[in-house]
Amino acid sequence: MAGRKFNIAFSTIGTVPFIRFIKLVMTYGVYPGYYFRCLVAGIISLLSEPFRWLENILFSRKLSRTILPVSPVFILGHWRSGTTLLHNAMAQDRQFAFINTFQSVFANQFFGSRWLFKPLMKLLMPEKRPADNVLLSPELPQEEGIALSNIDSFGFYNFFYFPRRWKDIYKRYISGDSASPEELAAYGRRYKKLIAQSLIEYDRQQFISKFPPNTGAIRHLLDMFPQAKFVYIYRNPILVFQSTVNFFETTHEALMLQPYSKAEFEEMVFELYEMIIQDYERLKSLIPAQHLVEIRYEDFEAEPLEGLRSIYERLELDGFEQSIPAFTDYFNSQKKFEKASHQFTPEETERITSRWRFAMEMYGYAMPEQMSS
């Protein structure tokens, strides 16, 4: 059976609380051609308000009393660098709670509305992620980006809705340059609430996170969790470029409220990579050395189980031996996965390496002729 195409009128901005939805639209703007998508999202946001009120009434006390982990594990790395593979693998360890796909979209009414929205989500969502054919399901691990943006509208993934303002959004939500201390403190409280949801959902005491923009937001994470542990995964920048462009184009097509061309997406990827990687390299010294592991995607892909063993040992995490059967089953399931192949022309290679030579040299990558992206 052919998979469903990721192309629906509803943008996930419709799960933002209605007042914040209006504020976002007024702040960043909706362009002609996207009015209907915005209208549908606004109607859904308004109709969902009772579910959000019910959620607050019934579950706010339980969430506030939930004990958070002292040392959650944050997976860092640019998009398309292997963060999904690593996140899904570590989520097989049953000590870890994680954000699932349903929670990522419906974080504001996660417990009280699943009886209605979860079946609808299963019906409407594609079977595989369009950019790379990774399986999708409401129950599978997901990054927390959409959830963070939708909980209080303060989050980098607003750039999926408003790509023309992505630089302003980065300065506000990742570097924090244009955010007030009060906004950052509120963001931290809501991030912790999101983690508490997952701990309750899975009845676990530890948390594994994957959110690529966190790569440039180390200071925010350490403010929330001073003893947090981190795994940074990096990959050949040339492969990252083409794969990220494809991912951004496909995802924005389904969510955005502003037009953006392929050439603009390519320039966005160039600049965003530079900003995130440079911010990471500048800030990583804030992390205690024993709390940070850096791994090369190609090494992890070649020996994934040994890669996990090294991560667990270096971060002094428990549970590796008990989880080996689950890890092995997961990695065996990934052997059927076919990566896209892209033939790089000399012009493409030169264009990418001229912009990202700093990363090629820093991470020790040579210039490829043909690779799988």
Give yes or no for residue 128 having a pLDDT over 80: no
Q: What is the pLDDT of residue 339?
A: 67
Instruction: Tell me whether residue 3 is in a domain.
Output: no
Q: What is the pLDDT of residue 151?
A: 83
Give yes or no for residue 281 having a pLDDT over 70: yes
pLDDT band at 366 (very low <50, low <70, confident <90, very high): confident
Instruction: Tell me whether residue 1 is in a domain.
Output: no
Question: Please, which contacts does 115-123 make with residues 24 or more away whose CB atoms are closer than 8 Å?
Answer: none
pLDDT band at 3 (very low <50, low <70, confident <90, very high): very low
Please give the residue that has the higher pLDDT: either 274 or 131. 274
Domain that holds residue 98: 12-372
Please give the residue that has the higher pLDDT: either 327 or 367. 327
Q: What is the pLDDT of residue 4?
A: 42
Which residues make beta-bridge pairs with 229?
Answer: 73
Using DSSP, how many helices (H) and how many strands (E) does the chain show? 16, 7
Q: What is the mean pLDDT of residues 80-89?
A: 97
Instruction: Tell me whether residue 63 is in a domain.
Output: yes
Instruction: Tell me whether residue 292 is in a domain.
Output: yes
Least confident residue range of 56-65, 144-153, 310-319, 323-332 = 144-153
pLDDT digits (tens, 9 = 90+) for 236-265: 999 999 999 999 999 999 999 999 999 999
- CA neighbor of 123 nearest in space, from 267, 291, 8, 254: 8
Q: What is the mean pLDDT of residues 309-316?
A: 98
Encoded tokens for 26: 């007024």
CATH of the domain at 62: 3.40.50.300
**What is the residue type of 174?**
I
Instruction: Tell me whether residue 115 is in a domain.
Output: yes
**Angular region, 125: left φ>0, alpha ψ -120 to 50, beta rest:** beta
User: What Å distances lie between residue 235 and 115, 165, 308, 355, 362, CA to CA?
Assistant: 40, 27, 17, 16, 11
What's the mean pLDDT when you consider all of the chain?
91
pLDDT band at 372 (very low <50, low <70, confident <90, very high): very low
Least confident residue range of 35-44, 59-68, 83-92, 151-160 = 151-160
What's the CA gap between 210 and 300, in Å, rounded? 17
* Buried b / exposed e along 47-69 (16+ C-beta atoms within 10 A): ebeebbeebeeebeeebeebeeb
- For the entire predicted model, the pTM comes to 0.93
Q: What is the pLDDT of residue 269?
A: 98
Q: What is the pLDDT of residue 338?
A: 66
Give yes or no for residue 16 having a pLDDT over 80: yes
pLDDT band at 113 (very low <50, low <70, confident <90, very high): confident
Instruction: Tell me whether residue 250 is in a domain.
Output: yes
Give yes or no for residue 166 having a pLDDT over 70: yes
What's the CA gap between 104 and 155, in Å, rounded? 13
Q: What is the pLDDT of residue 368?
A: 59
Give yes or no for residue 73 having a pLDDT over 70: yes
How many other C-beta atoms can be found within 10 angstroms of the C-beta atom of residue 104?
A: 24
Residue 25 φ/ψ, nearest 5 degrees? -65, -40
Encoded tokens for 305: 């189980």
* Buried b / exposed e along 179-202 (16+ C-beta atoms within 10 A): beeeebeebeebbbbbbbbbbbbb
Which residues make beta-bridge pairs with 371?
Answer: 342
pLDDT band at 189 (very low <50, low <70, confident <90, very high): very high
**Domain count of the fold of the chain:** 1
Which residues make beta-bridge pairs with 296?
Answer: 234
Instruction: Tell me whether residue 4 is in a domain.
Output: no
Q: What is the pLDDT of residue 2?
A: 39
Residue 329 φ/ψ, nearest 5 degrees? -60, -40
Least confident residue range of 183-197, 301-315, 340-354 = 340-354
Instruction: Tell me whether residue 244 is in a domain.
Output: yes
